[in-house]
């Protein structure tokens, strides 16, 4: 299992610099994010501080600078982000989302072959369960009525 990460979009920018460069000085992080986002060094310092306190960045001081590194792997962290994104939609709607991503994503021939092989090997299940909370998904629309009637039932019991 990938651990559940808590990295904001702004903090993610810092993580990308460290993933790309390995051990990285605050100077390098500042330079890159000033270029990309126009962030001041105090903004970057705040982001780095948060990532250190969350345990995602480790810090040590070399001769003149603080140097940052991470034990998080970029691919694993991405999987964790995707997992938390997918929690926002019904499991039954994920195949449509994947189809959309495939249509939208530029690919070379090897990518297409790789994806075809993945699909070829995919074992279909009889049914994908919907584990959405009733009222947040059209799969469960029919049960809103039962929730509401249970609710008004409880209301009545409180009234009595």
The site for Zn ion, by CB under 5 A, has a size of 5
Residue nearest to Zn ion (CB): 90
Stretch that binds Zn ion, among 17-25, 51-59, 62-70, 89-97 (CB under 5 A): 89-97
User: Out of 62, 137, 143, 158, which residue is the one contacting Zn ion (CB under 5 A)?
Assistant: 137
What's the min distance (Å) between Cβ of 148 and Zn ion?
A: 18
Q: How far is CA 60 from CA 11, 57, 89, 102, 138, in A?
A: 19, 10, 41, 42, 51
> What are 67's strand-pairing partners?
25, 60
Shortest CB 90 distance to Zn ion, Å: 3
Q: Which is nearer to Zn ion, 87 or 110 (CB)?
A: 87
106-135 positions binding Zn ion, by CB under 5 A? 130, 132
Give the one residue of 139, 143, 154, 159 binding Zn ion; rule: CB under 5 A: 139
Q: Which is nearer to Zn ion, 16 or 93 (CB)?
A: 93
Residues within the interface to Zn ion (CB under 5 A):
90, 130, 132, 137, 139
């Amino acid at each position: 299992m990938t651990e559940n990460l808590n990295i904001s979009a702004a903090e993610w920018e810092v993580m990308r610099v460290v993933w790309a460069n390995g051990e990285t000085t605050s100077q390098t992080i500042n330079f890159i994010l000033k270029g990309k986002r126009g962030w001041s060094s105090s903004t970057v310092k705040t982001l780095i501080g948060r990532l250190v306190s969350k345990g995602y960045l480790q810090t040590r001081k070399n001769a003149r600078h603080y140097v940052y590194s991470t034990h998080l792997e970029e691919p694993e962290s991405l999987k964790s982000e995707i997992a938390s994104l997918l929690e926002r939609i019904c499991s039954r709607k994920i195949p449509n989302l994947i189809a959309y991503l495939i249509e939208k994503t530029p690919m070379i021939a090897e990518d297409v072959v790789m994806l075809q092989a993945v699909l070829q090997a995919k074992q279909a299940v009889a049914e994908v369960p919907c584990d959405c909370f009733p009222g947040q998904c059209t799969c469960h629309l029919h049960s809103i009525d039962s929730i509401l009637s249970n609710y008004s039932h409880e209301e009545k019991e409180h009234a009595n």
